[in-house]
A and B are shown apart, each in its own frame.
Chain A
Amino acid sequence: AQSVSQHNHHVILSEAASLELGCNYSYGGTVNLFWYVQYPGQHLQLLLKYFSGDPLVKGIKGFEAEFIKSKFSFNLRKPSVQWSDTAEYFCAVSRSGGSYIPTFGRGTSLIVHP
């Protein structure tokens, strides 16, 4: 079975600091990769996704993620965080083709101090 690891469970940053959240998965085949965000009091929403092509994908609100196949990683980055980026971030993986059974990481709680 596939698994997803998010190494940073809690991250605290000051505004304007750079952000990188790690995500590693265990499945060796072709995958679809997602980052979801949950702002306080809101539902989970898609931040960005990767299916194929350019391994550097750009999402909403200045976020980007890079798929490194050799490292089974899909790390999320933002050059300069804002207070409004305070949220819970989830990495998710699904297999390409076949039945759709997505696996989520346990999440990273990001707090940005103004």
Chain B
Amino acid sequence: DAGVTQSPTHLIKTRGQQVTLRCSPISGHKSVSWYQQVLGQGPQFIFQYYEKEERGRGNFPDRFSARQFPNYSSELNVNALLLGDSALYLCASSPMGQGNQPQHFGDGTRLSIL
């Protein structure tokens, strides 16, 4: 079975631009979460979506937004990019998004801001 897939794998943008990252969850998983991982740190929670509705939001500015589609895939959008947005963006899926369900992670999108 295919795991969580993310695209693109790498992306280079300049300050002020906008970016869209994509994620397809494991088949049968209805919940998708997004994380930001800065070098040397653990993943930091950005959003969780379940059944197309936002279920949780981390401490990120409004420049970050996301949505989930009827097929449970998801997009993360970041507007007005800053140098500090350079990071690995991880997508994870779980069957129902409950706290006792482990996350299944993708390989991530490496975003570099110049």
Which residues of A line the B interface, CB within 8 A? 4, 6, 32, 34, 36, 43-46, 49, 51, 90, 92, 94-107
Contact = CB atoms under 8 A, between A and B. Distances in A.
Contacts of B43: 44, 90, 104
Given A46-B104, A97-B99, 4 more contacts: A4-B42, A43-B108, A103-B45, A106-B41
21 contacts: A4-B42, A32-B99, A43-B4, A43-B105, A43-B107, A43-B108, A44-B43, A90-B42, A95-B99, A97-B99, A99-B56, A100-B56, A100-B97, A101-B45, A101-B56, A102-B103, A104-B43, A104-B44, A105-B42, A107-B40, A107-B42
Interface of B: 3-4, 33, 35, 40-45, 48, 55-56, 58, 90, 92, 97-100, 102-108
A97 B100 CA distance: 9
Contacts of B48: 99-101
A55 B98 CA distance: 21
Contacts, number: 66
Contacts of A104: 35, 42-45
Contacts of A92: 42
A97 B35 CA distance: 21
A34 B102 contact: yes
A6 B58 CA distance: 20
Nearest to B40: A106
A43 B33 CA distance: 15
Contact of A44 (B44, B58, B99, B105): B105
B42 A106 contact: yes
